A = this chain, B = another copy of it.
């Protein structure tokens, strides 16, 4: 009997989290990868820059990988490429803007020799046993696509990040006809975006934000400063449009915003009326009611342009009473406090701040419940795998699918690393591959693990205390020290007595051990540590890391 053919879907990231999306689709010994994104570190990942999926599964099956398909240009979908492409020399397929953003990113990592192919929605490519179609969707960055992968066992559809915007700012609407056609012909499995599954109804059209902009621009008697995600080209387009209509010039501030505007303009994704964009040094000399500044910092990021302006620390833009600041974004979970702080500082400088919770100056890029239902009903897949969401969202998405009549047994609540396997006879979760996080800290890829993080955590709470002494090998006597050095524990100038007492306690402990003829360093250090730990806890109720260091001379 010949070996049975199999299709496998293996999510390596994006399940149980919003971030670091990466999904393997495999047919026998051929694989394609959908997206390769990063995530930002959690609070407890102290000092970590970014997080990427553990892709050891790809390394182990290097020769099977035929290509990487990218749905859109957000960091959580492209941010792992600079790391991945050091290990793999495979072609990338993406739309033009996505590719533009990827290439900028790779250049920063000195990766210039990549194999990249620009595709358009409705393009069909062939990779090994796969025929792959790209399908236009709406999202908060232009040129976003879903992907259909036709395998000999059936068609797999991945929505990418999407919403259904019936009145998009530029370009066509989500390709209802293609999704319907696929549904008509039969889809084996649908993977769909779960980000907004907790929201009833429909997500508002991006165009709504443009209306709010125009209204605010007309009302404002002075300058407008808008902060948004740099990658939200439609948002930038609408700000430029509103400025043009209300006779304002526009200046762009903030490195990533400047970059994206350059790329998007060059590739034809931004329509800027002649003479509208001017330099920031010129705009500060215009009357306020003719000025609009586009900037980064909508998440209150410490080094961003808007945060610097709020702190009165920006080189070129100074907030003035009467300025209207529009924060056109919603807080990413975890950023609430830094955004609130930025808003407060702007108010204190006399600006009028317009932000989401009091005004519709932002709409989401992800589908709400009714859109998710429409997607499920268009594609009407045999099997369903909710992706791109925290665990509670995946649960909610499975419930939604059940309500629409997809049998419970055909819905997979999977985790990163799950193998969802399809044969002629059915589908099941058939095991698990290695999946997890690789923490990036500076040049270190994956070298910071639990021990280092645990130490950073302890250091961050109560600091460190180092006690150093030199002892004589022959006599065991202390010949230099004990010296005590602390950082992040107490204010040393006000703690001299306590630290002197500590030295005395160390001397006593060492003397006692010497009388008992204890000479093993591990024991000496352990006893010193215990003595000091008790001493300082009694005096301060703090538990600094205590590090005894002993040196020996003849």
A124 interface residue (CB < 8 Å to B): no
A400 interface residue (CB < 8 Å to B): no
Contacts of A461 in B (CB 8 A): 46-47, 456
Q: Quick one: which of A451, A459, A542 has the most chain B CB within 10 A?
A: A459
Residues B343 and A392 in contact, CB atoms below 8 Å apart: yes
Of residues 508 to 554 in A, which have CB atoms within 8 Å of B's CB atoms? Answer: 539-542, 545, 547, 549, 551-553
Of residues 391 to 407 in A, which have CB atoms within 8 Å of B's CB atoms? Answer: 391-392, 395-396
A265 CA / B497 CA spacing, docked (Å): 48
Residues A466 and B547 in contact, CB atoms below 8 Å apart: yes
A46 and B340 contact, Cβ closer than 8 Å, known pairs A347-B392, A490-B447, A491-B452: no
A395 CA / B358 CA spacing, docked (Å): 13
A392 CA / B344 CA spacing, docked (Å): 5
Q: What is the size category of the interface that chain A forms with chain B?
A: 35 or more
* B347, B539, B545: the one within 8 Å of A395 (CB): B347
- CB-defined interface of A453-479 with B at 8 Å, one 1/0 digit per residue? 101110111111010111000000001
Residues B336 and A333 in contact, CB atoms below 8 Å apart: yes
Contacts of A481 in B (CB 8 A): 551
The smallest beta-carbon distance between A501 and chain B, in angstroms, is 15
Among the 9-residue stretches A143-151, A181-189, A234-242, A436-444, the one with 4 or more Cβ atoms under 8 Å from chain B is A436-444
Contacts of A358 in B (CB 8 A): 198, 396
Residue of B nearest to A344 (CB): B391
Residue of B nearest to A42 (CB): B337
Contacts of A541 in B (CB 8 A): 442-444
A55 CA / B546 CA spacing, docked (Å): 34
Of residues 333 to 347 in A, which have CB atoms within 8 Å of B's CB atoms? Answer: 333-334, 336-337, 340, 343-344, 347
Binding site for B on A (CB under 8 A): 16, 42-43, 46-47, 198, 333-334, 336-337, 340, 343-344, 347-348, 353, 357-358, 390-392, 395-396, 441-444, 447-449, 451-453, 455-457, 459-464, 466, 468-470, 479-481, 483, 485, 487-491, 494-495, 539-542, 545, 547, 549, 551-553
A-B contact pairs, 11 of them (CB 8 A): A43-B337, A343-B392, A444-B540, A448-B490, A452-B491, A455-B487, A456-B460, A456-B488, A459-B459, A459-B463, A480-B553
